[in-house]
Amino acid sequence: MLIAVTCASQAPAATLRGVDEEGDLSGPFVALEGHVSLFSDIAERSMAAGTFGYGARGGYRWNDWGLLLAVEHNMWIATEYDTNVVQGAVNIGVGGDFVYGGGLVRTSLAIGPSILAYDTILDDAGSVGFYLDARPVGLRWAVHEVLVIGLDPINFAVVAPVLDKIPLVYIQYRTFVYLEAAF
């Protein structure tokens, strides 16, 4: 893996499909991604309350600016009585991204509904709240003319699937890895 990343970092962004003469990205894209979060700001829990998940993004870029649709499954590690994984929330976001630095750096923002994926003591699965996903700086490496491996080391997300009664609002600091294909 390290060899692939090292070789990919030496590939110029111009080798990617959809790059015009000025080096701008244009065209449709789709990405599969995974994330992990080791830190939380929930006061009554450990600072190391973890989450993890997977998702997909797709959209279209015009001259490095893109519109996107993101869908992710955010699972939570529950530590109240014993350690187990709960289904967490399904998040759907609409937003945009900007690719710069010769195609090597990306910034993105998405917002939309967050849907509770399991029954809690107070709330039923299917409760809908809001979701915000902010990725200030992510790194991208071309590994083929249509494939990019990406790392978003710093991600800030607000996952709030329940807003009534006692709100369920989960602020997460996550790290993403993804594989993106351009068409």
How far apart, in whole angstroms, are the C-alpha atoms of residue 64 and residue 31? 16
Q: What is the per-residue DSSP string for 30-98?
A: EEEEEEEEEEE--TTS-TT--EEEEEEEEEEEETTEEEEEEEEEEEEEE-SSS-EEEEEEEEEEEEEEE
Give the domain extent around 138: 2-182
Q: Is the pLDDT of residue 22 over 80?
A: no
Q: Is the pLDDT of residue 34 over 70?
A: yes
Q: Tens of pLDDT along 80-138?
A: 666 678 888 999 999 999 999 988 999 999 999 999 998 888 889 999 999 999 999 99
Residues 70-81 have a mean pLDDT of: 83
Mean pLDDT, the chain, whole residue set: 84
User: Domains in the chain: how many in total?
Assistant: 1
pLDDT value for 15: 59
CATH number at residue 38: 2.40.160.20
- In percent, the amount of the chain with pLDDT more than 90 equals 57
pLDDT value for 86: 83
Residues 46-75 have a mean pLDDT of: 88
pLDDT value for 12: 46
